[in-house]
Amino acid sequence: MRRHPVPLTAEDVERLPGACAGCLLWELGGPCPQPRSPTVLGGLAPEVPPQETRRDPVDRKRDWVRGCVADGLPPGAVVEAPDGSRTDRTVAGFALFAPSERYAPRTGAVPRTSRDALLLATVRVAEVHREAGIGRLLLHAALREAIRQDRTAVEAYGDRRFRERACLLPAGWLLHEGFVVHREHPRTPLFRLETRRTVRWAESLEHAWDEMLARFPVAAPAPGRHSTGQAVVASSTRTSPPTGAA
């Protein structure tokens, strides 16, 4: 399977794993469908007509995503995987990220986000696809989007007492991926990852790759058969891709 994050669209919403399709905690300040999530990050829902609150949450989330995309700010990414058939694919994991002003305001004494950062709200990977590096792929998608928007960092709230099926990210995972505590909080500090660190890492990796390729022997073409007018090219040295290459 070739895994590659693609921008989140309104058509992806109903395919999101778990209860994420109908969760409006981040987008519109709705209640979190996961009772284990800390209430300290509860959203302040904007005032809307009563008929709006009675709409299907999936439809409301789809409209929110569609509005972000229309403004040129795709609010996340998805990684797809085959579902067993030849044509259909399922969402193996997704990430929700956007400028903090696109989300519902937070209530409670939570650390404030930075105006120069993209806020990574949550990452969810379907259970069957875990331990395969999909979470890191989605984090890289958030970093690329932050760079595209000319933002200097990605920020995220981390839960120090994270439990399964929560709407937040585990603090331990953020630390493992290179985030540092930016603003403290006893339960949900704000973590930050500078995009310039990612750019430097990418440049170092590209430089190391170029050096490694320069050490490979140059393939020499073998004599061709002139009677057919087509050259037959053969390599004098057979090389293999480095370990881990796709």
pLDDT digits (tens, 9 = 90+) for 58-112: 999 999 999 999 999 999 999 998 776 555 678 999 999 999 999 988 766 788 9
Alpha-carbon distance of 229 to 135, in angstroms, equals 52
With H, G, I as helix, E, B as strand and everything else as coil, classify residue 156: strand
pLDDT of residue 39: 54
Do the Cβ atoms of 105 and 27 come closer than 8 Å? no
Q: What is the separation of C-alpha 73 from the centre of its chain, rounded to a whole number of angstroms?
A: 14
For the segment 166-186, the average pLDDT, to the nearest whole number, is 91
pTM confidence score: 0.75
Instruction: Write down the mean pLDDT value for the chain.
Output: 78
Q: Give residue 75's region: left, alpha or beta (phi > 0; psi -120 to 50).
A: alpha
pLDDT of residue 13: 95
181 compared with 32, residue with greater pLDDT: 181
Asked if pLDDT for residue 45 goes beyond 80, the answer is: no
Asked if pLDDT for residue 31 goes beyond 50, the answer is: yes
Asked if pLDDT for residue 163 goes beyond 80, the answer is: no
pLDDT of residue 50: 73
6-198 — its CATH code?
3.40.630.30
Asked if pLDDT for residue 127 goes beyond 70, the answer is: yes
